[in-house]
Amino acid sequence: MTAIRVLVVEDEPLLAEAHSAYTERVPGFVVVGVAHTARAAMAALRANDGGDVDLVLLDFRLPDLHGLDVCRALRAAGSSIDVLAVTSARDLAVVRTAVSLGVTHYLLKPFTFAAFRDKLERYADYRAQALADGEVAAQHEVDQMFATLRGTAGHSLPKGLDAQTLDRVRAALTDGTRAEVGLSATEVSAATGISRVTARRYLEYLVTVDRAARTPRYGTPGRPEVEYRPR
């Protein structure tokens, strides 16, 4: 699969370096450029009509222009390039405008690597669906694409499950040090501080919504243990 090419736009050099490092840690993503001003970002995107960039990680509080103005300029130029806002701007009017300009995600600073990784992974899932050939067969496929971007809303979870614990379980499951080998419910329990039974409930839920895969783990005495890997 072709890597998703990312332009990091952040005026503070240390944060730009951190965001670049975070991006490179997520499989399937590669940083192709860093810009510290809006003008530098627009210049990078104008080169080859933005063909070398798939996703912009955009800080809104830039020294020469607001990030929303960068988004407006992109849309006015006919660009459909995807934008993930990485900002400390908490004004609801800013959030609403970002949505209206097609910003795919809005990540508030400060944030953890797990939160950052989750946004990128959801974007990658969405992009894979959006770039597929053909047409959607039914409404549920459209709903799935939107749900992939937005994540699972707390009110839509089964009774007894909550979004915060689900995020902790998923973060443990997608930890880069263990994602390749898989985790058992016991191991997720140890990583998150919840009981093994509760961990299994959340893991099974992730399997049902196609966010995890369940396979037997052989090589243990007696009955094979089940392990889970992120999808």
Domain parsing of the chain, residue ranges: 4-150, 163-230
- Tokens for 62, please give them: 């830039």
Amino acid identity for residue 186 in this structure: T
Cα–Cα distance, 179 to 230 (Å, whole number): 7
Q: Name the strand (E) or helix (H) holding 196.
A: helix 196-208
Check if the beta carbon of residue 10 is closer than 8 Å to that of residue 38: no
pTM score > 0.75 for this model?
Answer: no
User: Which CATH architecture group holds 163-230?
Assistant: Orthogonal Bundle (1.10)
Class of the 4-150 domain?
Answer: alpha beta
Q: Is the peptide bond before 221 cis (omega within 30 degrees of 0)?
A: no
Cα–Cα distance, 218 to 224 (Å, whole number): 5
Cα–Cα distance, 2 to 28 (Å, whole number): 7
CATH fold match for the domains 4-150 and 163-230: no
Nearest-5° Cα angle at 57, 53 to 61: 130
pLDDT in tens, 60-109: 999 999 999 999 999 999 998 999 999 999 899 999 999 999 999 999 88
The percent of residues above 70 in pLDDT, for the chain, comes to: 85
